[in-house]
A and B are shown apart, each in its own frame.
Chain A
Amino acid sequence: MVDTSGQLYTIEGIAAALIMLISAYLVVNATSVYTPGDTHINDMQLEVLGSDALQVMNTPVNGSSESPLQEIVENDDASTFNTTFLNYVNNKTGSEMDNLHYTANIAYRNITDGDTIWSYPLASNRNMTAGDHPVRVTEWVIVDKTLPPGAPYPPTERAVLVEVLLWRD
């Protein structure tokens, strides 16, 4: 009598082996493998650089002046912000420049409108698209300014939050 029950074992073994081999082949030949730590490295580098740039912009260059960022916010000087911020984030120690893009907003507490948070754009050097992967960096700045802009109040000293979305092509 021919017993064919053993052939099933062989097919199972071959099938299991093939599955493992194909899986291993696919994994090894994947273009790149990201661990959670890996994916955050580029973001971390951008966050550190962006935070540094805002922090040094919010430091007066001498003991008797306002910080550049204070003056920019008080005067809504988008051009100076654009030049200074890009200078800080794109400069490298070598001869080549980096190519980072940003969009910056100012958020503040509007006490004339039910104590709500309002914001308005400060500057940007490119519109963000769906494919961009930005990081968010912020800096609190003490300014002497009328907020909301154009409100019928004299300028008062208050804190505003400069928010910057920063990304690389």
Chain B
Amino acid sequence: MIHNEKGNLSVDFLAGFTIFILAFIWVATMIPSLLVGLNAHSIDYNAVAYRTSVILAEDPGAAGPVSGAPCFGISSASGSAWESTVTAPTKCDIARFGLAVSKDTPNVLDENKVNRFFCWTESADPNDKTNLSYPDDYRKRAIFGDYPYRFNISLRMDGENTTRYVGEAIPEEDYGYIRRAVLVKGPSNATIDENLIKEKYWSNGTVMQGNYSEDRFTIHFNGTQLLKDCTNVPHEINYRNYQIDPSLDTTVINITGLDTLYYDSPSSTTTNLTGIFLSTSPTAMTGRLFNDKNTFTFIDGNSTPVGTLPANVTSNISLVIPPGAVISESTLRTNPHVYLTLIFKNTNTVPTINSTYGNWYINSSESGPFEYDYNAANVTQPQLHSGVLEVAVW
């Protein structure tokens, strides 16, 4: 009998091969757990945090229809002034957040955009068209991506004790993080005090103006110079950092020391602010009136706006004019000259007048309007304030 074993499989080979295959399969099943060890999530979180910080610190954002968010009709808004209630009346008109003043000025943030961005609520009311809610309104406009990232975005200004933030508490570990050094552009402001009034913007009821009982004080905004002619701004390349634009920035005008103008009886003398109007001519007697629902005029340090004019003024008036509300972009661009006039009517009796003394009244009829411009002697120019912006994503 011929004994031929060439076709047989060795039992030993079978045993060895089986051990090898079992070990191979076991190792192969461990591959997913190996990938967990590569920290893939944190890599993604860091990338998203960096991307979000670039969007916020280096982009001015955009007004317009937002994709993927529940909204109320299609927005027709455009431009980068998404924070303006004129450009973007509802949050549905905000397409993308971005805090930069302009695309040419990275890391310089706009104070109005900052204020709008960090004004949010945690409860999402589906019918609320104004207040931003965490996280939905922010995911679609700043974080992006299909994954429902959670996040915390915070900003702290030098010299401030409080930190502005949006989002929830950062977990102990496994989150992406980035920190950016930024500057925030503050508003311009002008103060017209009693010394300036006595030096230039005054009447005493006889010399400067026949009708002492009514005085007009006018503030001139030269649209051509403010918006287009930036030759007076030394740093022309980054002129947006220092530009005064009443249609986009808050404008603050303080008139102080009115109670020190009266020579005869300061304690009993008040002035009556009877009206505020906007016109395109320095001699116009009428224009757009702000005598009802006046939300930008604060009298004698009162923290609530005056609401309705006329109103009595003892010492000072603050006009805190929000961007675009009084002087819109179209007004400023269409008309090179815009005039804001305050009308005062004095409630005291005929002042004591002699050749030396008399009551002083704020009045720009003779001197010409107060120029709100790039002259630092008149207007405190916009300043940049340092701060730090942090983005954490998980």
Contact = CB atoms under 8 A, between A and B. Distances in A.
A64 B39 CA distance: 49
B233 interface: yes
Nearest to B230: A63
**Size class of B's contact patch?**
35 or more
A64 B182 contact: no
A61 B380 CA distance: 13
B144 interface: no
B156 interface: yes
A44 interface: yes
Contact of B390 (A28, A41, A61, A92): A92
Interface in B356-384: 374, 376, 381-384
B388 A91 contact: yes
Name the prevailing secondary structure of the B interface residues. mixed
A61 B119 CA distance: 26
Nearest to A41: B46
Q: Which has the most chain A C-beta neighbours within 10 Å: B16, B182, B234, B239?
A: B16
B16 A59 contact: no
Interface stretch (B6-14, B296-304, B305-313): B6-14
Contacts of A91: 156, 158, 181, 388
Interface stretch (B23-31, B221-229, B264-272): B23-31
Interface residues of A, number: 47
A125 B155 CA distance: 26
A111 interface: no
A159 interface: no
A13 interface: yes
A132 to B, nearest CB: 20
B27 A92 contact: no
Interface in B25-49: 26-27, 30, 33-34, 37-39, 42-43, 46
Given A28-B34, A63-B381, A93-B390, A7 B374 contact: no
Given A14-B16, A98-B179, 20 more contacts: A6-B10, A6-B11, A9-B10, A9-B16, A9-B17, A17-B22, A21-B26, A28-B37, A33-B34, A37-B43, A45-B46, A45-B178, A48-B53, A48-B179, A56-B107, A56-B386, A59-B238, A59-B241, A62-B242, A63-B235
